[in-house]
Copies of this chain bind each other. A is one copy, B any other.
Amino acid sequence: MFLQLVYRRAYSGGVPELAEVDQLKDDDRLTAWRLFLESYRRVLDTLDDELQSERGLSLAWFDVLVQLFNAPDHRLRMNQLASRILLSKSGLTRLVDRMEAAGLVERASSPTDRRGSFAVLTPRGEGVFRDAFPVHLDGIHKHFARHLTAAEARTLAKVFEKIRGPLTSAAECAPPD
């Protein structure tokens, strides 16, 4: 799904009633939007392919490894892990199932709350992570960071912070005013 938008074509073409929508004048912004979408898809696909072919690891798996590696004691509650990688509870259950079968993570039950369990990085998982990390970082550099000057990077960070900000938890809770 990619969503190259109507933009100019709908505007100058035969859709007068749509042209009324005044955001259509924001050509630069919509161009930015379109390129944003396309860049994401293409860069992520490329990174996934590279990691897959060079280390046999999907980005989703890598993402779990990253999170656990960064977590204190190399462990996280399923709960937290799910929200950090933006995956549903059930999705994470299955993902951890698969990674456990591959020996990269383990489950450990929480001593304080017997409902909960931790996902814990195994030594093997840590090894795989350390092995894959440079590949991924190199990919980010090659396909993304390399194209940014320092100033541009700061601009992007600023802008995306604003964009992400209002959506962080539940979208559209109480639109102010």
Contacts and interface: CB of A to CB of B under 8 A. Distances in A.
Nearest to A87: B1
B152 A159 contact: yes
A24 B137 contact: yes
Interface residue tally of chain A, by bracket? 35 or more
Chain A interface helix/strand/loop/mixed: helix
Given A1-B60, A17-B130, A30-B140, 5 more contacts: A6-B133, A18-B134, A24-B137, A29-B144, A36-B144
A155 B40 CA distance: 16
Interface in A24-57: 24, 26, 28-33, 35-43, 45-46, 49-50
A101 interface: no
Contact of A43 (B21, B133, B143, B163): B163
Interface string A126-161: 000010011001101101110110101111111111
Interface of A: 1-6, 9-10, 13, 15, 17-18, 21, 23-24, 26, 28-33, 35-43, 45-46, 49-50, 59-60, 62-63, 66-67, 69-70, 84-87, 130, 133-134, 137-138, 140-141, 143-145, 147-148, 150, 152-164, 166-168, 171-172
